[in-house]
Amino acid sequence: MKRQPTPDHLLLDQQLCFALYAASRSVTGLYRPLLEPLGLTYPQYLVMLVLWEQDGLTVRELGQRLQLDSGTLTPLLKRLQTAGLVSRQRRKEDEREVDIRLTDAGLALRDKASGIPECLAQCMQLSLDQMQTLRDELKRLTRQIQLPPSED
C-alpha cells in the first residue's frame, strides 16, 4: 500500500500565496531595525504614513485606507497615543466617531522617517521601475480579490 505522492498543485513552492506571505514578512523584517529607533512597529508606521498624508481621520477612515478593523486599530492607536504621537478625541458632530490627530511629536517624526523608503529600496535590490511594476501588480491583485469569492 504505497502512499500517493502529493499532487503538484499542493506543493508549497507552487503556491503564490506562500510567496506573498513570505515576501511580506521578509519585507516587514527589513523595516524592523529601521523603525526601532523611531519606536514604531511596522503597522504603526503604516498608520503614521496615512496621518502624515492626511491628518485628522477617524478610526473608520484609517481602517478603510489600511484595510484594518477597529479590533486591530483601537489597541494600536492607544499605543501610539501612549507614545505621545497621536491624540484620540470623540468627534463633536458625531460622538460615535473618534478623531485621530498627530501631536507635534507625531508630525516631527516624519522627518526622521523620510530616509526609510530609499533605504528599503536599496535593501530590496530592485530598480525603481521594477518596484513600481511589482507594486502595481500587487495592487491590481488586491483590488480583484476585494470582490468576495462567491457570496450568492
- Which residues are at the interface with its own copies (CB under 8 A)? 3, 6-7, 9-12, 14-31, 33, 42, 46, 49-50, 52-53, 65-67, 107, 110, 113-114, 117-118, 120, 123-126, 131, 134-139, 141-142, 144-146, 149
Query: Which of residues 11 and 90 has its CB atom nearest to its own copies in the complex?
Result: 11
Q: Using CB under 7 A as the criterion, which residues of the chain lie in contact with DNA when the complex forms?
A: 21, 25, 28-29, 32, 41-44, 58-61, 63, 67-77, 79, 88, 93-98
Query: Which of residues 22 and 90 has its CB atom nearest to its own copies in the complex?
Result: 22
Q: Which does 1 bind (CB under 5 to 8 A by kind): its own copies, DNA, none?
A: none
Which helix (H) or strand (E) element contains residue 45? helix 42-53
The Cα–Cα gap between 42 and 46 comes to 6
> Angle CA(26)–CA(29)–CA(33) in degrees, nearest 5?
155
Q: Which does 101 bind (CB under 5 to 8 A by kind): DNA, its own copies, none?
A: none
φ/ψ region of 56 (left if φ > 0, alpha if ψ in -120 to 50, else beta) reads left
| Least Cβ distance, residue 146 to its own copies (angstroms) | 7
Q: How far is CA 63 from CA 51, 77, 88, 137, in A?
A: 12, 11, 15, 22
Query: Which of residues 37 and 95 has its CB atom nearest to its own copies in the complex?
Result: 37
The Cα–Cα gap between 42 and 74 comes to 16
CA terminus-to-terminus distance, the chain? 42
Query: Which of residues 21 and 108 has its CB atom nearest to DNA in the complex?
Result: 21
